Amino acid sequence: GPVASRLGLSGVPVAAETIALHTLFELMRVTGARVHVARLSSAAGVALVRAAKAEGLPVTCDVGANHLHLIDVDIGYFDAQFRLDPPLRAERDREAIRAALADGTIDAICSDHTPVDDDEKLLPFAEATPGATGLELLLSLTVKWAREAGVPLARALAAITSAPADVLKLPAGRIGEGAPADLCVFDPNAHWRVEPRALKSQGHNTPFLGYELPARVCATLVAGQVAFERR
């Protein structure tokens, strides 16, 4: 976009997303296929998805947690931690994405967990590998969005639990009698600083390094067995 042009970077314009969506929706009209659009990134893309849903096309979509909070100017002096795919876009795009998530046009939030080796992030911005660790930040970034947007916590959590399960038509993401005990126990009042030593992932690169984020995972259970417990 314009910021990439000013910085002398090769960009991935919004048109790259909208052209792909136009093509996709036309194919859906012809085939009747059900489609999920991953990592929507622009206001124009949101408008196309909203129109497709209003038309009755069986489309769902998600947004990466990074794009709920960051915009193109955040890359500062070519900080490669902010080199993501899709790229960060303008503030108006972020606000459109936030509004679409709140009104249900966007169905779910994804972690966009794409860990990158340290050496691949030490390269010049244009040569650095796009991506960031996201799994351990997903809960905190979701809670942060909910508080800033005035969205009830239960509804925000649905965007990373039951909503993705619904997209995949899976009987998961909910607490209920007889359901598998796949649980995340967290403290909504805790805050933590994002530092490499605080991350368990093999990739420690994230644009949120140094940020203080709300909500801290205390434990996770998989099929009733403790898989992680913070000590």
Nearest to 134 by CA among 85, 98, 77: 85
**Cα Rg for the chain, rounded, in angstroms?**
18
Catalytic residue selected from 62, 93, 107, 112: 112
Distance in Å from the first CA to the final CA of the chain? 45
State residue 184's pLDDT score: 96
d(CA 114, CA 116): 6
- With H, G, I as helix, E, B as strand and everything else as coil, classify residue 149: helix
The one-letter amino acid code at 147 reads R
State residue 80's pLDDT score: 94
State residue 3's pLDDT score: 66
State residue 173's pLDDT score: 93
d(CA 138, CA 135): 5
- Centre a 10 Å sphere on the Cβ of residue 227 and count the other Cβ atoms it contains: 12
State residue 226's pLDDT score: 96
Tokens 């012809």, residue?
Answer: 30
Regions of the chain with pLDDT less than 70: 1-9
Domain ranges of the chain: 2-175
State residue 207's pLDDT score: 97
Active site residue 187: no
d(CA 153, CA 67): 19
The one-letter amino acid code at 21 reads L
Torsion angles phi and psi, residue 15, rounded to 5: -60, -30
Assign domain 2-175 one CATH number from 3.20.20.140, 3.30.2350.10, 3.40.50.720, 3.30.1490.190. Answer: 3.20.20.140
The one-letter amino acid code at 60 reads T
b vs e for 169-197, b when ≥16 Cβ sit within 10 Å of the residue's Cβ? eeeebeeeeeeeebbbebeeeeebebeee
State residue 231's pLDDT score: 84
Q: How many residues does the structure list for the chain?
A: 231
How far is C-alpha 6 from the geometric centre of its chain's CA atoms?
Answer: 26
State residue 6's pLDDT score: 64
Cβ atoms of 20 and 7 within 8 Å: the answer is no
